[in-house]
Chain A
Amino acid sequence: MPRLVSHPDEVKIVSSRFGKGAANIDRYVELGGYASARKCIEQGPDWIINEMKAANLRGRGGAGFSAGMKWSFVPKQSAKPKYVLVNGDESEPGTCKDHLIFLHDPHAVIEGTIIAGLAIGAKTGFIYLRGEYRYLLEIMEKAVADAYAKGFLGKNIFGSENEFQVITQTGAGAYEVGEESALMESLEGKRGVPRIKPPFPAVVGLYGGPTIINNAETIATVPHVIEMGAEAYAAVGTVRNGGTRLFGISGHVERPGVYELPMGYNLKKMVYEVAGGVRGGRKLKAVVPGGSSTPVLLPEEIDIGMDFDQVGKAGSMLGSGGVVVLDDQTCIVEFALRTISFYQHESCGWCIPCREGTDWIKKSLTRFHAGFGEAKDIDNIQYLAENMLGRTFCPLGDAAAMPTLAFVKKFRKEFEDHLNGKPCPFAKHVELAVI
């Protein structure tokens, strides 16, 4: 069972029911659950969307798009059925927050899905979990069955005129499927390759119907927004960045874990106070602020507020909120190689710049790390990465290129130190297994 952590600076909203047995439906109701869904049935779709816009709840999957705005793009009238799709294909390295939501608070996901459905006029919601999360899928399936038994799902939810069905789905191993259009392809029983946009899913989505796709954390936050009121929720965070986030702090820290902190919380404080500082009293070398796809930050760059805008201004991204901390014994070349190896493995191969770019960068870095690099390779790695940016259907190409560029630019000297057959000063794993 994943360990839960706690820190006095936490503001527990999404995690307020963690560790309280809320996977049990009666317990969830006792803790105030499903009251928000009932309220939304009374208030109607326009009110819900306005609340969501006012809450400044931005997408927790990584893109940070306003959930309320996204919902408002769905046409009111549609010949085809509309759908809500919850993205629980959590696979961004450094990210394990949805894991805890499914484990401790599955009904919050169901309730958020119902509310999203009411807002856009959908009668069906899908909750898609990555295939590795089988035990969590079983928890979700039990929760869905219990919600049906109580009449919270089905033909007349909560005794109203509204119908809402929830269908769970499992993946079978694919990072790319976390991209929204590939997710729809996968749910339709196909290879998880991305679709070109436009049309956007809000207009043409799952089975061709208007679809909203939200990250599991975003959806699990929705009932809390309704319960607290948009204004109170927004006030917890910073300007245009409402509420809290589940920050997963991993790597070389004393107390790794998932901490719920207000948007805009200082990253330096997060590393040194919340997570207890660098493990073993070592020096900090770098921080990856929002999952493996976000550009690395140097120690002098981490005195920033963790919201989408401030991290963006610092040249990186808030991403999925997965903070990965590296101490001074970490070889950046090896870290860059492990990162690109992941993207090379996970590239679906649909777009050539991503398929070829990730492969060649991996080859170059492997050679480099083994001590056979040449000076021109450093520029070549940069050239390859730059040529992937913005040239693919989905953001996986960017997700591979952006961190690579940051590693090379910010740690060029360390790359140079690997030149001319010099052994890597840090690493033990010179040859990485080919996955």
Chain B
Amino acid sequence: MSPETMTLFSPRLAARLDALVQKYPVKRSALIPMLLYAQDEVGYLSDAVISEVAERIGITELDVRNVATYYSMLRFKPAGKFNIQVCTNISCMLRGGYEVYERFQEELGIGHKGVTADGVFSLEEVECIGACCWAPAIQVNYDFHDELKPELVRGILDGYRFQAEGKAPHA
């Protein structure tokens, strides 16, 4: 994308995406990372994001949507600032993953794919996140929290709340 083209993204992300299309033998290979990085900044794949990604890759918006709808991490509605993903797959289930998930639901007052009214948190029950030996595990955005117990849930939420309020970095 030429410098004079309008972009939705921050200069840093725009530069990253410019480099991304040069990275692969075929431009289209940049599509999935581009969608993910754009989502990380914007929060979700808005129509405008899809339009700009389509232009950057040189494919139709329909083509972008066709690919994007396949991948479970990509979303078309805003999530919370901190998206809590609780694994309940077998290894986590055996060590209390559902109890942890239930505690998050109680504490936040939302269910699967819900977003809190203040937009700080969203919650998802997810499939295996590759932390089976440190179960039960969750991810908050990309951060892992291992070996959880329901009683640790409130402390985790408080940490992120402080971060959302800009009070103190999450320990």
Could you give, for residues 252-285 of chain A, a 1 whenever the CB lies within 8 Å of some chain B CB and a 0 otherwise?
1000111000000000000000000000000000
Given A93-B127, A131-B73, A135-B142, A189-B91 contact (CB < 8 Å): no
A134 within 8 Å of B by Cβ?
Answer: yes
Nearest neighbor of B64 in chain A, beta-carbon distance: A189
**Chain A residues within 8 Å of B170, by CB:** none
Task: List which A75-104 residues lie within 8 A (CB) of chain B.
Answer: 81, 90-96, 98-99
Task: List which A164-194 residues lie within 8 A (CB) of chain B.
Answer: 167, 169-175, 186-192
Could you give, for residues 79-108 of chain B, a 1 whenever the CB lies within 8 Å of some chain A CB and a 0 otherwise?
000000000111101110010010000000
Given A81-B25, A124-B25, A189-B67, A171-B127 contact (CB < 8 Å): no
B31 pairs with A250, CB closer than 8 A: no
* Interface-central residue, B32, B70, B130, B131, by most chain A CB under 10 Å: B130
Nearest neighbor of B142 in chain A, beta-carbon distance: A134
**Chain B residues within 8 Å of A363, by CB:** none
Given A171-B71, A250-B133, A433-B112, A189-B94 contact (CB < 8 Å): no
Select which of A188, A192, A248, A346 is within 8 A of B133 by beta carbon.
Answer: A248
**Chain B residues within 8 Å of A256, by CB:** 95, 132-135
How near does chain B come to A316, taking the closest CB pair, in angstroms?
15
A34 within 8 Å of B by Cβ?
Answer: no
B143 within 8 Å of A by Cβ?
Answer: yes
Considering the chains assembled together, what is the distance between the CA atoms of A124 and B139 in angstroms? 32
Could you give, for residues 317-351 of chain A, a 1 whenever the CB lies within 8 Å of some chain B CB and a 0 otherwise?
00000101110001000010011001001101000
B33 within 8 Å of A by Cβ?
Answer: yes
How near does chain A come to B40, taking the closest CB pair, in angstroms?
9
Considering the chains assembled together, what is the distance between the CA atoms of A191 and B69 in angstroms? 8
B95 pairs with A251, CB closer than 8 A: yes
B71 pairs with A173, CB closer than 8 A: yes
B128 pairs with A288, CB closer than 8 A: no
Task: List which A222-252 residues lie within 8 A (CB) of chain B.
Answer: 248-252
**Chain A residues within 8 Å of B74, by CB:** 172-173
A167 pairs with B32, CB closer than 8 A: no
A435 within 8 Å of B by Cβ?
Answer: yes
A132 within 8 Å of B by Cβ?
Answer: yes
Select which of B73, B95, B132 is within 8 A of A94 by beta carbon.
Answer: B132
**Chain B residues within 8 Å of A5, by CB:** 133
Could you list which residues of chain A lie within 8 angstroms of chain B, going by C-beta atoms? Answer: 2-3, 5, 81, 90-96, 98-99, 124, 130-135, 167, 169-175, 186-192, 207, 248-252, 256-258, 288, 292, 322, 324-326, 330, 335, 338-339, 342, 345-346, 348, 428-429, 433-435
Could you list which residues of chain B lie within 8 angstroms of chain A, going by C-beta atoms? Answer: 23-26, 28-33, 35-36, 57, 66-67, 70-74, 88-91, 93-95, 98, 101, 111-112, 125-135, 139, 142-144, 146-147
Query: Which 4 interchain pairs have the tightest Cβ spacing?
Result: A173-B73, A173-B72, A189-B28, A172-B71
Beyond A189-B57, A190-B28, A248-B133, 14 additional pairs, beta carbon < 8 A: A5-B133, A91-B128, A93-B132, A95-B132, A131-B36, A173-B73, A187-B29, A189-B26, A189-B29, A250-B91, A324-B132, A428-B98, A433-B88, A433-B125
